[in-house]
Amino acid sequence: MDIKVFSNQVEASAFLVDQYKQLLADGAEVFGLATGGTPEEFYKQLGESDVDFSDKVSINLDEYYGLTPGHPKSYHYYMEDKLFHNKPFAQSFIPKGDTDDVEAELERYNGVLADHPIDVQLLGIGTNGHIGFNEPGSPIDGQTQFVDLTQATIEANTRFFENIDDVPTKAISMGLGSIMAAKKIILIAFGDNKADAIEKTVNGPVTTDVPASILQNHDDVTLVLDEAAAAKLK
C-alpha cells in the first residue's frame, strides 16, 4: 500500500484533486465514489477546480435502504448536493434505496458494475473497518449486497440525522469483491477515531473481521490520511 500522510484534510484533499486530474489525463473513465463526512472537503475542492467529468461515469458504493432519492439524508441527495450539481457526469449510478424488489436491484447494480469496470474507487472507512457498507464478517468475494448496518455504524451515522431512530438500519452496498475489482483504490481517513481501523488495515491480518484489511491483497491501493488517522502506524 502507498500511504500518504498530510497535516490536515484541506492539504489531503488538494492532493486528491491533483491525483484525479492525473487519472483523467491518464484516461480514467469510470469513477467509483463514496459518501460520508470524509470526502466532503475533497468534493468541495473538486467543485472549485477545473476538472471535467461530463463525459465520464460515476458509480457510488452504497445507499440507505428505504430512503427515496429526494430524501435529504439519502446518498443520492448527498451526491447531488456535494458534487454532481457543479460537476455532473455523463452517467451516474447509485443503488436505489427505495426499491420494492431488492433482489432485482442487486442484480441491476451488478450489471452496472459489469458494464462499467471501475478505474478508480474512492473509499472512506468505518471505525470498525467497514468499506462501503461491508460490515465485519462480510463475504470476501461478495458482489452487491443487501446489508444490515451494525450498531457501531448506526451510532456513527446518527450525526447526520435528527436522532438515532431516524438512521436506516439496512443498506444496499457494493460487495468486497466488487470493490476489489476496481483497477485502483484510494482510501481516505481523517481523525483519531479512524486510527485503530487504519492500523489494522495496514498491519493487521487479512480478515473479514476488518473488511478494509483485504485491501492488502490489491496491488494498487493508496491511503490518504491526516496525521491523526495515521497516528498508530509505525
- 35 belongs to the binding site for ligand F6R (CB under 6 A): yes
Q: Please pick, from the candidates 32, 95, 126, 142, the single residue that binds ligand F6R as defined by CB under 6 A.
A: 126
- 62 belongs to the binding site for ligand F6R (CB under 6 A): yes
Question: Any catalytic annotation for residue 130?
Answer: yes
- Torsion 134-32-113-58 (CA) sign: positive
- 168 belongs to the binding site for ligand F6R (CB under 6 A): no
Q: Helix %, strand %, coil % for the chain, to 5?
A: 35, 20, 45
DSSP state of 149: P
d(CA 53, CA 210): 33
- 200 belongs to the binding site for ligand F6R (CB under 6 A): no
- 59 belongs to the binding site for ligand F6R (CB under 6 A): no
- 42 belongs to the binding site for ligand F6R (CB under 6 A): no
Q: Please pick, from the candidates 6, 28, 30, 38, the single residue that binds ligand F6R as defined by CB under 6 A.
A: 38
Beta strands in the chain (DSSP E): 2-6, 30-33, 57-60, 62-64, 91-93, 120-123, 145-148, 170-173, 184-189, 221-226
Question: Any catalytic annotation for residue 26?
Answer: no
Q: Are 102 and 172 in contact (CB under 8 A)?
A: yes
Stretch that binds ligand F6R, among 14-22, 130-138, 205-213, 225-233 (CB under 6 A): 130-138
- 41 belongs to the binding site for ligand F6R (CB under 6 A): no
Q: How many residues bind ligand F6R (CB under 6 A)?
A: 14
Stretch that binds ligand F6R, among 99-107, 129-137, 203-211, 213-221 (CB under 6 A): 129-137
- β-bridge partners, 188: 224
Q: Which of 60, 128, 134, 157 is catalytic?
A: 128
Tallying the residues shown for the chain, one arrives at 234
Q: Please pick, from the candidates 32, 97, 124, 211, the single residue that binds ligand F6R as defined by CB under 6 A.
A: 124
Stretch that binds ligand F6R, among 89-97, 120-128, 143-151, 195-203 (CB under 6 A): 120-128
Cell of 142: 461478495
d(CA 166, CA 96): 18
Q: Which element (helix H / strand E) includes 219?
A: none
Positions in the binding site for ligand F6R (CB under 6 A): 34-38, 61-62, 124-126, 130-133
Active site residues: 62, 128, 130, 135
